[in-house]
Chains A and B, each alone.
Chain A
Amino acid sequence: MATAPKPQTGTESAEKEVLLRIEGVTKIYDGTVKAVDDVSLTVTKGEIFGLLGGSGCGKSTLLRMLAGFEVPTKGKIYLAGQDITNLPAYQRPINMMFQSYALFPHLSVWENIAFGLKRDGMPKEQIAERVEKMLGLVQLTKFAQRKPHQLSGGQQQRVALARSLAKRPQLLLLDEPLGALDKKLRETTQLELVNIIEQVGVTCVLVTHDQEEAMTMASRIAVMSEGYFLQVGEPDTVYEMPNSRKVADFIGNVNMFEGVIEEDEPDHVTVRCAECVHYVGHGISGHSGMSVGVAVRPEKVMLSKNKPKGDYNWTEGEVIEIVYFGAHTTYHLKLASGMVLKAQEINSTRDLSCGLTWGDKAYAHWSNEAMVVLTQ
């Protein structure tokens, strides 16, 4: 699901040129509503940065401040070292691909793409050349003379991309770029979009509520909630090492156990929960007696009919729901404590031979390295 993990050598990112710097940006509406709360962020050149969060988390407001449609109540925004906080939208070397595209309905595809270039007073031949190039890039050369309403959703999306790239912006903003497409089209378009962006080499800030979209497309993501960042990191880091219950819960599915640390050793920790005792194969920064959450992803939970060996990392329950997805099946196990544990089994053969059915007793177990201990 995630892009290949990149080596995490802190020095490397420091060497890269910082393109966008956001410093303590706050946006307050009507004097009371804090849409964005003291957010700071740097985005390096060539990066695709994803802002991920539910509706009303402030991600769109932040994007609109980058585009210049909103002015921050507090804080500064720098682009390539220049303060652009109060620069109006039409003077910023930033272009945006709008949610549901906002293509001008009275203009043809060609004129839509040329719109920004004409405003810059570019000579006619150069405009024609650039528009042709853009049309080629998004494979819409044949459709140049059509009006937006004569195109399919996927084609409109590509026109919107071409229009936002035509001026060669320093920064490209994508607002829910795939939100208006159906699922199948979305998967192919995701990769196509990333390919085009990488081909052009433009730095991107992407806003989405779809975690899959953020993880496939972005090289780094920020999980946003109530106007601030919960966690910023590479997609695999955020998925496998969430820093809080909120992030673990927002990104993907998770089984959350609540418990207390019993043993706290440098090489392992045990956490006693109502359902089971977790044996975590690494040390954590906590102390015995501390209340913690233990998060286990459903795909890391294995099911069997036989009781697992040992005292740790297993529990038992009754199968109350079987959700078949084709490639995998999710089993819902009702535990004695009342908690419903989800386990995702890959359907590696065609006979679905896990052998479990509704009402069966089953044991769920997981490895020492499957879980994340969350202190907040």
Chain B
Amino acid sequence: MAQSKNAFLNFFSGRKLIIGVPYVWFILLAAIPLLIVLKISLSTMETASVSNMIDWSRGWPSLTLNFSSYQFIASDALYVKTYLSSIKYALITTIICLAIGYPFAYFMARAPKHIQPTLLMLIMLPFWTSFLLRIYAWKTLLVNNGIINNALMSLGVISEPISMMNTPFSLIIGMVYSYLPFMILPLYANLSKLDVRYLEAAADLGTSPLKTFWLVTVPLSKAGIIAGSMLVFIPSIGEYVIPELLGGPNTLMIGRVLWDEFFSNNDWPMASAVAIVMILLILVPMALLNKSQSDQAEIKP
């Protein structure tokens, strides 16, 4: 008896408690909500509420699973099309962010040490303004009688306004603008740690500066490229605000479908199913990537 009381006390003391806190946090705030979403996605409209999670109608607790939402997603071409188009826009955003962010991060990392904190500060400065405001600001720049069109017309470059607003173009601009810092920061962290001796060694072995960049700098910053791309790609897929404000009705993004299911159709099982499929779409490639990386690290002759 005394022993079991001790064991009980031990469990709640020191080490285990500290290890336990993040687990409890994770279970309460990530795992359980996710399971609830999963369960709702497998319910019918009538039973889709937290109180109806577990079916007591047979006298004992049981789960009634209903796959109709998933069947509907698979059968309706609109959903498939929207997923594909979300992935497409997220990919384009990621690639453009990488193309702009890499040189940006590279020059930041190579800048004199004493101005680097200032540069970092400038990268983070936009976060001080509300996200919504910043996206809305792009609207005033891009609309037909907006600043850009007016400027170009008064300069005589164009005779009538270019319609940029509510096109994939304006959507991509908004996404790249919003997510660029998430690409730059991990890349900068990685590149500023790059040992210049590797670059010198490459030069010493007869490699021109441009080749050295492709053969040494880029491979050695792989971790930063992956981290930055993930940070841009994942939130881009589910983005709702930017497509809503800048994308117009023709740019299909899954975030907006999700919104419609929840708030226009009030179809919670359908909305949950859309969300679960989206999570799977993101998780599966990530898991594969993780596995290939850990496999690579374990290669031994």
Which residues on A are within 8 Å of B, measured CB to CB? 67-69, 88-91, 94-96, 98, 100, 102-106, 115-116, 119-120, 142-147, 150, 163-164, 167
Given contacts A106-B220, A142-B301, A167-B205, contact A119 B211 (CB under 8 A): yes
Q: Which residues of chain A are within 8 angstroms of B208 by Cβ–Cβ distance? A: 90
> Nearest chain B CB to A374's CB is how many angstroms away?
40
B206 touches A119 (CB 8 A): yes
B195 touches A102 (CB 8 A): yes
Q: Mark B203-237, 1 if CB is under 8 A from A, else 0.
A: 11111110100011001101000000000000000
Q: Which residues of chain B are within 8 angstroms of A94 by Cβ–Cβ distance? A: 204
Nearest-CB residue, chain B, relative to A163: B205
> Nearest chain B CB to A116's CB is how many angstroms away?
3
B300 touches A89 (CB 8 A): no
- The 8 A-B residue pairs with the shortest CB-CB distance, nearest first, are A116-B205, A102-B197, A102-B201, A89-B203, A119-B206, A145-B301, A106-B219, A90-B203
B202 CB–A CB distance under 8 Å: yes
A68 touches B203 (CB 8 A): yes
A102 touches B200 (CB 8 A): yes
A116 touches B206 (CB 8 A): yes
Q: Which residues of chain B are within 8 angstroms of A69 by Cβ–Cβ distance? A: 200, 203
A102-B204 Cα distance, complex, nearest whole Å:
11
B107 CB–A CB distance under 8 Å: no
> Nearest chain B CB to A67's CB is how many angstroms away?
6
By the criterion of a CB under 8 Å from any partner CB, how many residues of chain B are at the interface? Answer: 22
Q: Which residues of chain B are within 8 angstroms of A120 by Cβ–Cβ distance? A: 206
A116-B207 Cα distance, complex, nearest whole Å:
7
A104 touches B197 (CB 8 A): no
B205 touches A95 (CB 8 A): yes
B203 touches A115 (CB 8 A): no
B198 touches A104 (CB 8 A): yes
B202 touches A146 (CB 8 A): no
A96-B206 Cα distance, complex, nearest whole Å:
11
Q: Which residues of chain B are within 8 angstroms of A106 by Cβ–Cβ distance? A: 219-220, 222
A196-B216 Cα distance, complex, nearest whole Å:
28
Q: Which residues of chain B are within 8 angstroms of A98 by Cβ–Cβ distance? A: 197, 200-201, 204
Nearest-CB residue, chain B, relative to A149: B297
Q: Which residues of chain A are within 8 angstroms of B206 by Cβ–Cβ distance? A: 90-91, 116, 119-120, 167
B220 touches A95 (CB 8 A): no
Given contacts A102-B195, A106-B219, A119-B211, contact A96 B204 (CB under 8 A): yes
In terms of DSSP, what is the predominant structure of the interface of chain B? helix
Nearest-CB residue, chain A, relative to B197: A102
Within 8 A of A (CB), among B85-102: none
> Nearest chain A CB to B129's CB is how many angstroms away?
40
A180-B264 Cα distance, complex, nearest whole Å:
68
Q: Mark B58-98, 1 if CB is under 8 A from A, else 0.
A: 00000000000000000000000000000000000000000
Q: Which residues of chain A are within 8 angstroms of B209 by Cβ–Cβ distance? A: 90
Nearest-CB residue, chain A, relative to B195: A102
A276-B207 Cα distance, complex, nearest whole Å:
63
Q: Which residues of chain B are within 8 angstroms of A102 by Cβ–Cβ distance? A: 195, 197-198, 200-201
A260-B209 Cα distance, complex, nearest whole Å:
60
Nearest-CB residue, chain A, relative to B219: A106
> Nearest chain B CB to A44's CB is how many angstroms away?
23
Given contacts A89-B204, A119-B207, A167-B206, contact A150 B300 (CB under 8 A): yes
Q: Which residues of chain B are within 8 angstroms of A150 by Cβ–Cβ distance? A: 300
> Nearest chain A CB to B250's CB is how many angstroms away?
43
A304-B186 Cα distance, complex, nearest whole Å:
70
* Chain A to chain B contacts (Cβ below 8 Å), 17 pairs: A69-B203, A88-B203, A90-B204, A90-B208, A98-B201, A102-B197, A102-B198, A102-B201, A104-B220, A105-B220, A106-B219, A106-B222, A115-B205, A115-B215, A119-B207, A119-B211, A142-B301
A146 touches B300 (CB 8 A): yes
Nearest-CB residue, chain A, relative to B212: A90
A146 touches B216 (CB 8 A): no
A55-B299 Cα distance, complex, nearest whole Å:
39
Q: Which of B202, B211, B219, B222 has the most CB of A within 10 A?
A: B202
A100-B196 Cα distance, complex, nearest whole Å:
13
> Nearest chain B CB to A82's CB is how many angstroms away?
17
A102-B216 Cα distance, complex, nearest whole Å:
12
Contacts A69-B200, A89-B200 known; 4 new A-B pairs at CB < 8 A: A90-B209, A103-B201, A145-B301, A164-B204
